[in-house]
Amino acid sequence: MTANGATPGGVPPAHDGTGAAAHRTPLIAFDPRLGPAAAAADPLSADAQQRIRERAAQVLARYPRPRSALMPLLYLVQAEQGYVSADGIRLVADILGLTTAEVTAVATFYTMYRRRPCGRYLVGVCTNTLCAILGGDAIFDALREHLGIENGETTPDGAVTLEHIECNAACDYAPVVMVNWEFFDNQTPASARELVDRLRAGDPPMPTRGAPLRTFTEISQLLAGFPDDLADAGPSAGPASLAGLELARSRGEAAPPFPTENAPREEGA
């Protein structure tokens, strides 16, 4: 065992909240529907652990309590592995002094943490009500057929993972497709097929709105709190999203001032 508690070539033993090492057993039961990749042992290398620990130290410095850094640290693991593995959960638990159960509870609650390997581009087709009736269901079916994969699966070249997504608050541009959480608006089955073909060819198009596309691991690092200064490099909100704002401005209307300690919110405001 090393000075930081790591076993050679493995992850440090997880804490049980009292500082004692917990018994290391597999945390995630193998689900045969997830395929062999999900069951394969995929330990974080010593180098990867070191990178995560170094970046984690920067994240921890931003918070008053270590456990507040849990979500960014899970993104750091995802940035290394393309998903949050059981080893990643043990490492995060060790860094934060949490139990693996506590870390697992968060990693399994939020859908932006992937629990099995993800492709370079996570293609999410909104099939929530408005997008669905305007063509989202047809787009999803077209991509399933075109790519030869089902919901949650990845193309054999590792380029595209396809999934249903819920409303991304872009209903004014329905039906929308998200690639690594950037918007591709007003899609059709044909435009979506062309989109994934370009992703697989290594020629990612610019999103309709948002920053230039980055890979899934790059975007995970960004979400961990390490900006790449590209946030304003692409188109911002479009006219449909700003219609209400423009109307209010033309009428001279404005939102009431935000209440402060000296000027509390008025009754009924």
Binding site for ligand FES (CB under 6 A): 126, 128-131, 167-168, 170-171, 174, 176
Question: How far apart are the C-alpha atoms of 212 and 230, rounded to whole Å?
Answer: 7
Nearer to ligand FES, 113 or 184 (CB): 184
CB of 171 to ligand FES, least distance (A): 4
Nearer to ligand FES, 56 or 178 (CB): 178
CB of 138 to ligand FES, least distance (A): 14
Nearer to ligand FES, 50 or 129 (CB): 129
- The sign of the dihedral angle between the CA atoms of 190, 192, 193, 199 is positive
Question: How far apart are the C-alpha atoms of 102 and 45, rounded to whole Å?
Answer: 23
| Farthest-apart Cα atoms in the chain, separation | 69
CB of 32 to ligand FES, least distance (A): 32
Nearer to ligand FES, 84 or 125 (CB): 125
* 102 neighbors 94 (Cβ within 8 angstroms): no
CB of 115 to ligand FES, least distance (A): 24
Structure tokens at 91: 């490492």
DSSP 134: I
Nearer to ligand FES, 149 or 171 (CB): 171
Residue 92 corresponds to which amino acid?
Answer: V
Question: How far apart are the C-alpha atoms of 234 and 153, rounded to whole Å?
Answer: 29
Nearer to ligand FES, 59 or 122 (CB): 122
* 136 neighbors 174 (Cβ within 8 angstroms): yes
CB of 219 to ligand FES, least distance (A): 19
CB of 136 to ligand FES, least distance (A): 6
The number of C-alpha atoms within 13 Å of 4 and in the hemisphere containing its C-beta is 14
In sequence order, which residues have a C-beta less than 8 Å from that of residue 241 and are 6 or more positions away? 172, 173
Q: Which is nearest to 88 in space by CA: 98, 110, 103?
A: 103
